[in-house]
Structure 1
């Protein structure tokens, strides 16, 4: 692993490391695994909810949380759902309905389909985190979700981790070349993990890469 450590300590604004560039077969990932939700799951944009208002069938049905985190119901209109559990949301909906429209309403909320289209962006970006994506997304667009690269970033070394064929793989990309039009802007998929190199990010690379044998990078690991 000493070789990996040396590769990760390369100077800023340079290519390097053991993860290959210009990978011709870095294809689409495996189909997302259906997320099994429980009482601790927090609702996110794109989630489909099954809402039942007992004895009021016209207010019951499936509702999709929009990308701003809201859902819309008859009578009460727009309600913020993002970040809440199903129990919290059903309590809020019952209170809203009971305040004006129904007497002692009974409401049940269940997460019918959890949105898996999220990417993790870490390293030398201005706002690391987990972000939802909707529809086709490229690497440049994904980095923009994290407010762009940080001042200490090395844009010539960005690693994307992806599960292909049931095994985790990785490939490096050069944002400088992509921005200049010298390299294609690769597609990014739900569950990808993107790490941007930089002084603050070097430990992230070590944590991601030193957990596996050096020869297994961009081979199944």
Structure 2
């Protein structure tokens, strides 16, 4: 009987020590993949400028299917492309039927939102702000809840067509479309 109690106490002490131990951030999950330029996705709003063609220049939203719709050339797939790639595709479509030497520029007018869940005052969807970190995202969501782990967060991100999840410090940069999860602390 005494041996069972000793085993239970040892197990409880071991669990308590494990809970108190600092885990190393798994930022390597994101670093292991090659750095890639920003790619467009649903929710982005784009400023498309076709030089000398004011009737084609406008702000276009990337729809839920990942496309934009422009006059004369119709729908164009945008998801997964950079702004430069999309500009070249629009030039190609305009050149094939309507303009001799079209020059197109595409800029991101408004980035798609980020999402924050878990131990924050107000979970939800928020507009992305350039230069944002996990810490600023928490501030936008009203701050930490009383039970929040204030040392790290979990980010879910699409990279290269794959969903990647990693634990990161609060100073880690956030990208448009990221989902941030703040977990509850142990003690």
Greater RCO structure (CA 8 Å; 6+ sep) = 1
Task: Return the TM-score normalized by structure 1.
Answer: 0.42
Task: Return the TM-score normalized by structure 2.
Answer: 0.49
